[in-house]
Amino acid sequence: MNYLTVTYSIYLVLSVLLTIWVGSTLFRHGRIFLIEIFHGSTELADAVNKLFLVGFYLVNIGFAVFALKTSQQVSDTKELIELLSVKVGGIILLLGGMHFFNLLILFNLRKKAKQYRHPIPGAE
């Protein structure tokens, strides 16, 4: 097995594991926002949350696989680590960007949901 094959293997494993970790964290902690957005409808919130998770996985793992190819030669451990740092760093930046994009969507939806919520008489 050559260094490039090892690099690809490590990159794919790290990319998928990072994507699953970030996705499951967003899934767990985003649920409460979705329940509020959908005015307490847990079934709808859970369904939308699962759809977000699938989309998140598809975009991020798809990008990781798409970005796998390299023209760089890897002939020693130093080059392997350098290429991995660029590749995995790109995935981490993408995951961070997707995280903030998801938060932006959730906060905007939450803000709109609060605007359209009917006040409860006598609750003030």
Q: What percent of the chain has pLDDT over 90?
A: 33
93-120 per-position pLDDT tens digit: 988 888 888 888 888 887 887 777 655 5
- With respect to residue 122, please indicate whether it lies within any of the assigned structural domains: no
Q: How many domains does the chain have?
A: 1
- With respect to residue 123, please indicate whether it lies within any of the assigned structural domains: no
- With respect to residue 119, please indicate whether it lies within any of the assigned structural domains: no
Average confidence (pLDDT) over 19-48: 90
- With respect to residue 76, please indicate whether it lies within any of the assigned structural domains: yes
65-99 per-position pLDDT tens digit: 998 888 888 889 999 999 999 999 988 998 888 88
- With respect to residue 121, please indicate whether it lies within any of the assigned structural domains: no
Take residue 7 and report the two structure tokens written for it.
């690099």
How far apart (Å, rounded) are the C-alpha atoms in residues 58 and 17?
14
Three-state SS for 66-92 is HCCCCCCCCCCHHHHHHHHHHHHHHHH
- With respect to residue 124, please indicate whether it lies within any of the assigned structural domains: no
Q: What confidence score (pLDDT) does residue 104 get?
A: 87
- With respect to residue 7, please indicate whether it lies within any of the assigned structural domains: yes
The residue range of the domain holding 47 is 3-114
- With respect to residue 108, please indicate whether it lies within any of the assigned structural domains: yes
